[in-house]
């Protein structure tokens, strides 16, 4: 199944390391683009080239769309049990190679190996979930006055759909888009991020190994500028499921016709509220896990901590102590709490926000570029903590997507809610409290698509809906769970007389 061509490149120790070149998959064939491939680097050690990938052209993308279009009518009519069996076989393949794929994921985007493995196993679960759930997606039957007529709805697939994904969850996000698209009978063009293409490649490989017919899932790598318009703008693209930055999502939404359905999962500025009755150790733990475990590079990551005045000093002290003890290093090394930032661009952005934070708020801890032994070829930054942050500050308003925690003091529950909601985003929000009244009110008052009580802002189930409010998502269809299937189907209403 491997399509790999092997070349050599100089390794950091001066020896020649093997570098594999990975191809696109279009119309059931592993194929090269005419252009020069690009290198995928390890952010923990940039002398390590993880692989070479196709810098696809608009023509490659057009061929992928054409192949998906040609495959649609047959795939749509393929029995659902056969489609489900393919999802299950792809899950088996992903499961069997979970250790290898986890190592590759850590090498290409930096997250700790145990988190990479968890992500792959969750993706296996996602494929298996949709193999079952997709088989019970039904229409409705409507009572009416005509005894000789039956009125009912049919759900049918849309056609060709584009799946465009970021680098931070490079298997689980594509899996939760591709699996519901395929089980409902759509055909797919999948473009992963150029910063983590190998993980997406492995997912495409799992489907190819599982016997997916040609053209049903097409995989192309390359830049948004070259590939983007060809897989978003043609009217034959009936739906786009996109996860990434709000700016890119808005751009795509504006450039597509109204007959193209969009599902955009975008940025966040996620708050965690710490009430004065909170278990402070738990609040600190949730802040660290939610804000730093992926070096702050989760869309649902905790970036603002709104702490009641009475406990603010104590909370900050305990948070700093916990953050100081974190082990930062290569995610392949067991026991690391935080890896590098994923790209040079991320490093530059995060350091820029830390510099802004130092000017506008009280710098409490960290935020240094790490350069000593073990760090010299990676994008490492120590977690930054800022206090005395107020609403108008840049670090309180803009998505940083890095290990930066902004502590905002609040005087009451009402003050906390007002400040938590004072943002253009609404992806995830959490509260730490023992008060059942406040738990109840928080679920109603907070403007957020995901609401967590005494849990991290991060993390979501494969069988429950996921998505944001305000500028964190398009207000159309939720991903994950049953709602993930609805996005990929359209409803026909049938009036059948005798
Ligand atoms: P990004 O927007 O730069 O890129 C995401 C993907 O979109 C990549 O594959 C990229 O090549 C592609 N892309 C960008 N512009 C495009 C265009 N005009 N046409 C077609 N494709 C285009 O985002 P990123 O840096 O990869 O990821 C980080 C962002 O993703 C953060 O803002 C984060 O909050 C967000 N994110 C959101 C969720 C969520 O579920 N809401 C989950 C993970 C990440």
DSSP string, 68-85: HHHHHHHHHHS-HHHHHH
Would you state the pLDDT for residue 16?
A: 54
Pair 287, 430 in one domain: yes
**Is there a domain that residue 469 lies in?**
no
Q: Which residues of the chain have pLDDT under 70?
A: 1-16
Element (H, E) at 30: strand 29-31
> Helix-strand-coil percent breakdown of the chain, rounded to 5?
40, 25, 35
User: Do 51 and 153 reside in the same domain of the chain?
Assistant: yes
318-355 per-position pLDDT tens digit = 999 999 999 999 999 999 999 999 999 999 999 999 99
| Residue 10 confidence (pLDDT) | 46
Q: Do 229 and 330 belong to one domain?
A: no
Number of folded domains that form the chain: 2
Q: Could you give the dihedral angle defined by the CA atoms of residues 412, 416, 419 and 425, in that order, rounded to the nearest 10 degrees?
A: -170
CA of 224 relative to ligand 1 center, distance in Å: 10
Query: CATH number of the domain that 315 lies in?
Result: 3.40.309.10
Number of helices (H), then strands (E), belonging to the chain: the values are 15, 23
What atom of ligand 1 comes closest to residue 299's alpha carbon?
A: 34
- Say if 468 falls within a structural domain: no
**Structure tokens that stand for 44 in this block:** 């923990």
- The separation between CA 211 and the C-alpha centre of its own chain, rounded to angstroms, equals 26
Those residues whose C-beta lies under 8 Å from the C-beta of residue 251, and which sit 6 or more positions away, are none
Please name the residue whose Cα sits nearest to atom 22 of ligand 1: 224
Which residues constitute the domain of residue 118?
Answer: 5-266+474-495
Rg (CA), the chain: 23
State whether the beta carbon of 71 lies less than 6 angstroms from ligand 1: no
Q: pLDDT tens-digit profile of 145-169? A: 999 999 999 999 999 999 999 999 9
Is 408 in contact with 305 (CB distance < 8 Å)?
A: yes
Tell me, yes or no, whether 288 lies in a domain.
Answer: yes
List residues with catalytic annotation. 265, 299
Q: Is the CB of 268 under 6 A from ligand 1?
A: yes
Supply the pTM of this predicted model: 0.96
Q: Are strands 302-308 and 217-219 parallel, antiparallel or unpaired?
A: unpaired
């Amino acid at each position: 199944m491997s399509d790999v061509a092997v070349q050599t490149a100089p390794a950091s120790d001066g020896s020649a390391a093997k570098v594999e070149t990975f191809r696109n998959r279009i119309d059931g064939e592993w194929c090269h683009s005419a252009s020069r491939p690009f290198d995928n680097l390890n952010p923990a050690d940039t002398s390590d080239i993880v692989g070479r990938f196709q810098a696809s052209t608009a023509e490659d993308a057009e061929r992928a769309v054409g192949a998906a279009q040609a495959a649609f009518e047959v795939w749509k009519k393929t029995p659902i049990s056969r489609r489900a069996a393919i999802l299950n076989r792809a899950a088996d393949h992903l499961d069997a190679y979970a250790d290898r794929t986890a190592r590759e994921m850590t090498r290409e985007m930096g997250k700790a190996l145990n988190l990479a493995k968890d992500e792959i196993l969750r993706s296996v679960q996602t494929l298996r979930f949709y193999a079952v759930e997709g088989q019970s997606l039904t229409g409705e039957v409507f009572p009416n006055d005509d005894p000789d007529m039956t009125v009912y709805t049919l759900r049918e697939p849309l056609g060709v759909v584009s799946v465009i994904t970021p680098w931070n969850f490079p298997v689980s996000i594509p899996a939760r888009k591709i699996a519901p698209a395929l089980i409902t009978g759509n055909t797919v063009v999948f473009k992963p991020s150029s910063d983590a293409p190998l993980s997406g490649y492995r997912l495409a490989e799992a489907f190819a190994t599982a016997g997916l017919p040609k053209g049903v899932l097409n995989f192309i790598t390359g830049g948004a500028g070259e590939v983007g318009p060809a897989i978003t703008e043609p009217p034959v693209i009936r739906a786009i499921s996109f996860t990434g930055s709000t700016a890119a999502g808005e751009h795509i939404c504006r450039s597509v016709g109204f007959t193209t359905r969009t599902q955009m999962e975008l940025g966040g500025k996620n708050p965690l509220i710490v009430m004065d009755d909170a278990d402070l150790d738990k609040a600190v733990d949730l802040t660290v896990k939610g804000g730093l475990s992926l070096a702050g590079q989760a869309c649902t990551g905790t970036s603002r901590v709104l702490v009641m005045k009475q406990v603010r000093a104590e909370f900050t002290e305990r948070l700093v102590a916990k953050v100081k003890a974190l082990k930062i290093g290569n995610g392949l090394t067991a026991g690391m709490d935080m890896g590098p930032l994923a790209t040079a661009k991320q490093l530059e952005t995060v350091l820029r926000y830390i510099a802004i934070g130092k000017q506008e708020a009280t710098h409490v801890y960290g935020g240094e570029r790490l350069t000593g032994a073990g760090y010299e070829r990676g994008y490492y930054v120590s977690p930054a903590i800022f206090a005395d942050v107020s609403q108008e500050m840049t670090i309180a308003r803009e998505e940083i997507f890095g290990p930066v925690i902004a502590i905002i003091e609040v005087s009451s529950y009402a003050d906390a809610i007002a400040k938590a909601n004072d943002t253009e985003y609404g992806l995830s929000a959490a509260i730490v409290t023992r008060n059942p009244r406040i738990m109840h009110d928080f679920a109603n008052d907070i403007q957020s698509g995901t609401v967590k009580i005494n849990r991290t802002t991060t993390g979501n189930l494969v069988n429950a809906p996921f998505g944001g409010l305000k500028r964190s998502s398009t207000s159309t269809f939720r991903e994950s769970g049953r709602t993930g299937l609805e996005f990929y189907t359209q409803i026909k209403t049938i009036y059948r007389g005798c």
